Amino acid sequence: MNIAIIHPDLGIGGAERLIVDAAVELASLGHSVHIFTAHHDKDRCFEETTAGTFPVTVYGSFLPRHIFYRFHALCAYLRCLFVALCVLIMLPSFEVILADQVSAVIPILKLKRSTKVVFYCHFPDLLLAKHTTILRRIYRTPIDYIEEVTTGMADLILVNSNFTASTFARTFKHLNARGIRPAILYPAVNVDQFEEPHSSKLNFLSINRFERKKNIELAISAFAMLCTLEGDVLKGCDISNASLTLAGGFDKRLRENVEYLEELKALAAKKGVYNQISFITSCSTSERNALLSQCLCVLYTPKDEHFGIVPLEAMAAYRPVIACNSGGPVETVKDGITGYLCDPTPQEFSLAMAKLIQDPQMAEKMGREAQRHVTESFSTKIFGQRLNRYLVDIARGKED
């Protein structure tokens, strides 16, 4: 089949990882895949997008991402609509188009009746946006309405977890009343890229974009509390060499990224652990894998995260995960087996961290079980097979 994928900004976040995995796996199954986007920086992207496995075409990069650091959602809509118009006008028909994040493109894509449109809803955007002031509510009301109406126009809706599916039903009440239910397709990780590590340092690793919703300050506060634990809690363990690495996506064009990084550095200094923390921005895949191979475990701090690809990457790299006991991690991390699910407090996280320090053999056992768990349930191969089945079925429905 000829398959098009439309994504707003082909950077290095979790949504982009899913789109790239989808393109790679669909291409490996013999489909002709083409990604269209409004932005693709070859110096800040996943390596697969420049490897030549599938073409990546950029339309509308000249359009603004914001207007004086405001109207991000409106600009994202305009950029994606421009991409969709270009695909509609300039290119031949695709049998299936997979779009994600911005549902406003769906009515345009549906103008070609021969094409089926699949929309992947990572999470309802209206829940991610702020509605704190009257002006914000006035600005967001038409955008939120358009999101629900256009999402319902897709031939198939996919979501990334049971948590997102239940949130979808509560949020898009009119779609739910019409009996529109999304199907669940878990994101995945390429397990083949990781090798079993032979040793680890007393290092805790956090991988997240430098955004406030990622709650990275929890990792800093938990690490600072860990460094003060004494007596029976650590049973004489030497943690003088303990360290914390905060790595993740960072875009200097985004004011929040710049401001939040400085806030985190200030918090680390206030807690007295600045010299024990490394801040790494926008590391490559190979650098991330090296960090995973050297750490004791991974701290995943977002609350109510709709899925979260980082826990899968950590477990695929034979590392246990300490995550908040809400959202997607509840569906991917086996508490007490592949890591720990904790209340999002420094106390709970630090105690879980202490358990792994006290018993390195248990940490190693958890890591092996974590890798087996991901291989069996969340590998890119399984993801590709499931996505392929959805797309083939929807295309056949077109022909019936």
Q: Side chain identity at 384, as an amino acid letter?
A: G
Q: What are the CB-based long-range contacts (under 8 Å, 24+) for 141-149?
A: 143/73, 143/74, 143/77, 146/77, 146/103, 146/104, 147/103, 147/104, 148/172, 148/174, 148/175
> pLDDT tens digit string along 371-384?
999 999 999 999 99
Alpha helix positions (H), the chain: 14-28, 72-90, 106-109, 125-128, 134-151, 162-171, 173-177, 217-226, 255-271, 285-294, 310-316, 329-332, 346-358, 360-377, 380-399
Contacts of 110 (CB under 8 A, 6+ apart): 117, 153
Per-residue pLDDT, 394: 95
Per run of 10 residues, the mean pLDDT along the chain (length 400 residues) is: 94 89 96 96 90 93 85 88 92 90 94 91 82 83 91 96 94 94 94 87 93 96 89 71 92 89 97 95 88 96 92 97 96 97 97 93 95 95 95 77
Q: Which two tokens stand for residue 35?
A: 């990604």
> pLDDT tens digit string along 78-108?
999 999 999 998 777 899 999 999 999 999 9
Q: Which CATH number among 3.40.50.10800, 3.90.1150.10, 3.40.50.2000, 3.30.70.1350 corresponds to the domain 191-377?
A: 3.40.50.2000
Residues 385, 151: Cα–Cα separation, whole Å? 24
Cβ–Cβ under 8 Å, residues 35 and 19? yes
Per-residue pLDDT, 399: 42
Alpha helix positions (H), 152-247: 162-171, 173-177, 217-226
- Write down the architecture of domain 2-188+379-399 according to CATH: 3-Layer(aba) Sandwich (3.40)
Closest by alpha carbon to 222, among 369, 366, 356?
A: 356
Per-residue pLDDT, 66: 83
Contacts of 40 (CB under 8 A, 6+ apart): 10, 49, 56, 58
Domains 2-188+379-399 and 191-377 share a fold: yes
- Domain definitions of the chain by residue range: 2-188+379-399, 191-377
Q: What is the DSSP string of 332-349?
A: H--BTTTEEEE-SSHHHH
- Strand order across the 339-342 sheet: 277-281, 243-248, 203-207, 297-300, 321-324, 339-342
- Give the 3-state secondary structure of residue 78: helix
> pLDDT tens digit string along 189-235?
999 999 888 877 899 999 999 999 999 999 999 999 999 886 556 77
Burial of 376 (0-12, 13-18, 19+ CB in 10 A): exposed
Cβ–Cβ under 8 Å, residues 36 and 131? no
Q: What's the pTM?
A: 0.81
Residue 183 CB: number of other CB atoms within 10 A? Answer: 12
Return mean pLDDT, the chain.
91
Measured CA distances, 331 to 7, 199, 263, 324, 384 (Å): 26, 28, 31, 12, 19
Q: Which two tokens stand for residue 173?
A: 């009440």
Closest by alpha carbon to 335, among 313, 357, 311?
A: 311
Residues 380, 126: Cα–Cα separation, whole Å? 29
